[in-house]
Amino acid sequence: MTQIIGFNNERYLKEQTAAILDRVAKFGNKLYLEFGGKLCFDYHAARVLPGYDPNVKMRLLQILKDKIDIIMCVHAGDIEKRRVRGDFGITYDDATLKLVDDLRKWDLDVIAVVITRFANQPSAAIFKNKLEHNGIKVYLHYPIQGYPANVDNVVSEEGFGKNEYVETRNPIVVVTGPGPGSGKLSVCLSQLYFENKGNIQAGYAKFETFPIWDLPLKHPVNIAYEAATADIGDFNMVDPFHLNAYDETTVNYNRDVESFPLLKLIFNKIFSAETATGKDDDSANDLLRWAKQPLYNSPTDMGVNRASFGITSDEIVKEAAKQELIRRYFRYNEEYMLGIEKIETVDRVMRLMEELSVKITDRMVVETARKAAAEAEAQAKGNEGIYCGAAIQLHDGRIVTGKNSQLLHASSSLILNATKVLANIPDEILLLSPHIINQISKYKEMVLDSESTSLDLEETMITLSISATTNPTAELAMKKLVDLKGCEMHMTHIPTPGDDVGLKRLGVNLTTDGKSSSNRLFVT
């Protein structure tokens, strides 16, 4: 079945490119563009806007390639604390390296990495050395006393003035980072401070996909964004500054609205007469005349997002966003069960679901997985007293189930069953020889001293790939693994590490009921 599409990437790219070029022209042909959200692999956007290319921002940068410089920034404290980016399960410093590599794959280069709030953290210093040894320029920005509230100190030689200035060449400077809190805005403001001191006209804009400013406040796509940020307490609101300035209702999120008055003061200070100290009086006067115009009247004004222009079916994206709400609920509930998240976050998403009359069971695979678990228990199958059910919805709408056993984890059983359905292989045909499975189980028990000898998904996929060398049916099934990407899946229990790795590599959209997959506290 063809994927249901509600978003047109080509139309979006055309509108978005024009909006950015129009904005840079308004600022004397120099624009610092803060890139929020995920620069690549934006799967949240792809889920709520069906048809959205997760790497469409990379395509946008390729279109603008001859006009852009890219600066990466990462917070020194995140490097020191080894903060982890949840979607990839890697630390922020590694995520920075990965992002540099990802950009290079698209023939886009990073001109510099800025380590923000650098205070001689040992790990950050090592990271700096590593980058420089690999030919990447590194600049240091330091903690600023009173940032951002003490505007007089922030916009001074003791504030932005003590940071290292990044030399740029092109009219558009994209400032991005591995995740939130990396210091993107601060880097943009610091650069504007130095540009203004050198009498160079330069402006600032923000590129962030969500919330979509020209969709209604309670549109499911915007509510799905609230759910995605429920853990940090973000919420959407009508932009009061935009409403007051233009009598037009637009949507922004609370932190941008709350910080706007202070940000406006910083902009005014940066472009004031006392900051511009260049030797060329004529250029300084030109700059000051230009700067007397209000930079922005509202947080919405700062944005250049044109995502709404790519939406081709409002009904399709509404339904997709409702499904994302359910996924977020399950994710936060699982994290709560693991002790990572607060119950208030789970409750917050449940309230958002209630606003849209969305129920957990609106996710088709949930009840099916639970029934599979109940069947396993009724038939006394399971393993070690755990009865796990799993279900996956294929792209053609068919739902396949799997259960755990002494031989296989539920996810292993499910994925094998799904490939058989996709390849039209009769259910009674075995893809893996029981003899091979038993040999691996013995190896796990005797050599690895493993508590559990049943095969997790990663082990199962390796076994399938080996079997495919001598078994044409297994080879046929293995070729169907790629067709599982983007499929919806639910499990009654939290996947083990080996299951989790395998499911991430397959690219399925997994939710769970948050039950422990083992009677043991330490699960391998």
Is 379 in the same domain as 510? yes
d(CA 482, CA 479): 7
Most confident of the ranges 28-42, 78-92, 216-230, 424-438:
216-230
- pLDDT for residue 518 is more than 60: yes
Higher pLDDT, 507 or 447: 507
Total of domains in the chain: 3
d(CA 408, CA 496): 12
Is 347 in the same domain as 424? no
Those residues whose C-beta lies under 8 Å from the C-beta of residue 131, and which sit 6 or more positions away, are 113, 138
**Token digits of residue 467:** 């079997």
- pLDDT for residue 282 is more than 60: no
Is 69 in the same domain as 105? yes
> What residues are paired with 251 via a beta bridge?
238
pLDDT given for residue 516 in this prediction: 85
Those residues whose C-beta lies under 8 Å from the C-beta of residue 288, and which sit 6 or more positions away, are 271, 273, 276
Is 428 in the same domain as 387? yes
Confidence of residue 391 (pLDDT cuts 50, 70, 90): very high
Q: Specify the range with the lowest mean pLDDT, choosing from 110-124, 273-287, 424-438.
A: 273-287
In the predicted model, what is the mean pLDDT of residues 479-487? 96
In the predicted model, what is the mean pLDDT of residues 239-244? 98
Higher pLDDT, 32 or 180: 32
Question: Is 456 a domain residue?
Answer: yes
In the predicted model, what is the mean pLDDT of residues 283-290? 48
Identify whether the C-beta of residue 492 lies closer than 8 Å to the C-beta of residue 369.
yes
Identify whether the C-beta of residue 457 lies closer than 8 Å to the C-beta of residue 412.
yes
pLDDT given for residue 66 in this prediction: 96
CATH number at residue 146: 3.10.630.10
Question: Is 287 a domain residue?
Answer: no
CA dihedral 169→171→176→182, nearest 10 degrees, is 80
DSSP of 398-465:
-EEEEE--SSB-HHHHHHHHHHHHHTT--TTS-SS-HHHHHHHHHHHHHTS--S--SB-HHHHHHHHH
298-350 pLDDT, tens per residue? 999 999 999 999 999 999 999 999 999 999 999 999 999 999 899 999 999 99
Question: Is 227 a domain residue?
Answer: no
In the predicted model, what is the mean pLDDT of residues 289-298? 68
pLDDT given for residue 251 in this prediction: 97
In the predicted model, what is the mean pLDDT of residues 468-478? 94
In the predicted model, what is the mean pLDDT of residues 198-202? 90
- pLDDT for residue 461 is more than 90: yes
d(CA 77, CA 298): 31
Which of 186, 209, 232 corresponds to the end of one domain?
A: 209
**Token digits of residue 201:** 């006209």
In the predicted model, what is the mean pLDDT of residues 186-197? 96
* Mode of pairing for the β-strands spanning 68-75 and 112-116: parallel
- pTM to 2 decimal places: 0.90
Secondary structure of residue 183 in the 3-state scheme: coil
Question: Is 216 a domain residue?
Answer: no
Which of 209, 234, 259 corresponds to the end of one domain?
A: 209
Is 70 in the same domain as 177? yes
In the predicted model, what is the mean pLDDT of residues 55-67? 97
d(CA 48, CA 225): 9
pLDDT given for residue 414 in this prediction: 98
Higher pLDDT, 201 or 318: 318
Is 182 in the same domain as 37? yes
- pLDDT for residue 443 is more than 70: yes
Question: Is 323 a domain residue?
Answer: yes
- pLDDT for residue 293 is more than 70: no
- pLDDT for residue 61 is more than 90: yes
Question: Is 496 a domain residue?
Answer: yes
Residue 303 is given by DSSP the state B
- pLDDT for residue 377 is more than 80: yes
Is 159 in the same domain as 135? yes
Which of 295, 324, 355 corresponds to the end of one domain?
A: 355
Confidence of residue 275 (pLDDT cuts 50, 70, 90): low
75-128 pLDDT, tens per residue? 999 999 888 776 667 888 999 999 999 999 999 999 999 999 999 999 999 999
CATH number at residue 372: 3.40.140.40
d(CA 27, CA 18): 15
pLDDT given for residue 36 in this prediction: 86
Confidence of residue 452 (pLDDT cuts 50, 70, 90): confident
Is 371 in the same domain as 505? yes
Which residues form the domain of 157? 20-209
In the predicted model, what is the mean pLDDT of residues 386-393? 96
Judge residue 10's burial from the number of C-beta atoms within 10 Å of its C-beta, 0-12 exposed, 13-18 middle, 19 or more buried. Answer: exposed
pLDDT given for residue 179 in this prediction: 85
Most confident of the ranges 181-185, 288-292, 440-444:
181-185
d(CA 390, CA 410): 6
d(CA 138, CA 99): 15
d(CA 359, CA 244): 37
Question: Is 218 a domain residue?
Answer: no
How is the chain split among helix, strand and coil, in percent rounded to 5? 50, 15, 35
Question: Is 225 a domain residue?
Answer: no
- pLDDT for residue 361 is more than 80: yes
Identify whether the C-beta of residue 225 lies closer than 8 Å to the C-beta of residue 236.
yes
Q: Specify the range with the lowest mean pLDDT, choosing from 24-38, 60-74, 389-403.
A: 24-38
Is 335 in the same domain as 429? no
Where do the H-state alpha helices sit in 250-313? Answer: 254-270, 281-291, 299-302
Higher pLDDT, 63 or 384: 63
Is 378 in the same domain as 485? yes
DSSP of 48-72:
HSTT--TTHHHHHHHHTGGGEEEEE
Higher pLDDT, 295 or 127: 127
Those residues whose C-beta lies under 8 Å from the C-beta of residue 329, and which sit 6 or more positions away, are 227, 346, 349, 350, 353, 360
DSSP of 81-124:
HT-EETTTTEEHHHHHHHHHHHHHHTT----EEEEET-S--HHH
- pLDDT for residue 1 is more than 50: no
Is 434 in the same domain as 504? yes
Is 416 in the same domain as 437? yes
